[in-house]
Structure 1
């Protein structure tokens, strides 16, 4: 009986040799992912890997503009998921991403937040901030949330008036941290950033008419070693199950 059991185990190891030898999965995908997806992406990855055991996904999080420049510099990324269409389309224009894989996977809402107990500031009153008070937003040249905020402030005629009062964060997570620590009186972040955060409050919502549509856009990098698998993962992000997960984390539908 023990001999038979040993034969069965041996055969199983021959069939599933990668599991027995501890070998890595057949495909490792390396993704450059916007910082605003840092909470939901691990869950999306886990859901996908459950049904695709031959695929392992590793994500690097950061500002979309910085990740764009990494791809342009030759970073070995298989795909990108950015918080704006602009950096994805820049890669497409340079032939660095596959146009047939480009897709919008979610939308978002830009809001003005402040520390709990702070003054009830609104967009319309930002120009009247008390002396010494500061406003945080992402660096417009690299952080889409900062670019959206700048667009809104320009259209409201406040951008120039607020110069010298602005604090810039390297990504949306850094901007949120400024507000949570009480270092600024208000900050521009995505509504999805507020999930599970109890020490800041939403002060105002930025109207869509004041800025470009807030979109999460993805694409596979041209020449990536796991191009087919990357495209399949990006397709998964548009499925009802993935869309439901994104909504649970505060993102809007497509």
Structure 2
């Protein structure tokens, strides 16, 4: 009976929802930092995003860091890539937001703006939803620009397909946060980007100097990713 009690306690620590407003404030601070960098050093912000994408973070972690920070409030159950997984979920999520801030500062030398008097939030579902939408408004536009630049840089061989694949995955998560992308990987045999969402899969493949959405079964070309995403943000 004692062993069962210990196991229940451990399970609760790993999946317990975030309970304080500190995480919500960290999301707001990071969004303000992104917006400040976008207004004053857009190239630096784009470089910071690429540095994060090409670092050692899993796609699931990048998704919460950049695209869907509000989803951390429900159940933080993704496999995290950091050694401090034994800490409470809130500590991990806050550390990820601060990692975004540090990446921006390292490139731009822009410090995180102080929160305003009205920017002191409770960490509930409605608050985080609003903060997530605010993040996606600015990050969706920035990520689309970074994707366009990455595609132009990759022509014609697209040796940077992994980078492009992650960017498409993040952009889809921002556009469709309720069916966000869970995994993004490049199948090296077919050289195709495979995205897995909560309700389906998407395949993107280089073809004739473009990145095209293709049918998961066969090679039917459905759309150019740039045409697909042009109206998203």
TM-score, with normalisation over the residues of structure 2?
Answer: 0.25
Relative to its length, the structure with more helix (as a share) is: 2
TM-score, with normalisation over the residues of structure 1?
Answer: 0.23
Larger Rg: 1
User: Bigger relative contact order, structure 1 or 2, given CA contacts below 8 A and separation 6+?
Assistant: 1
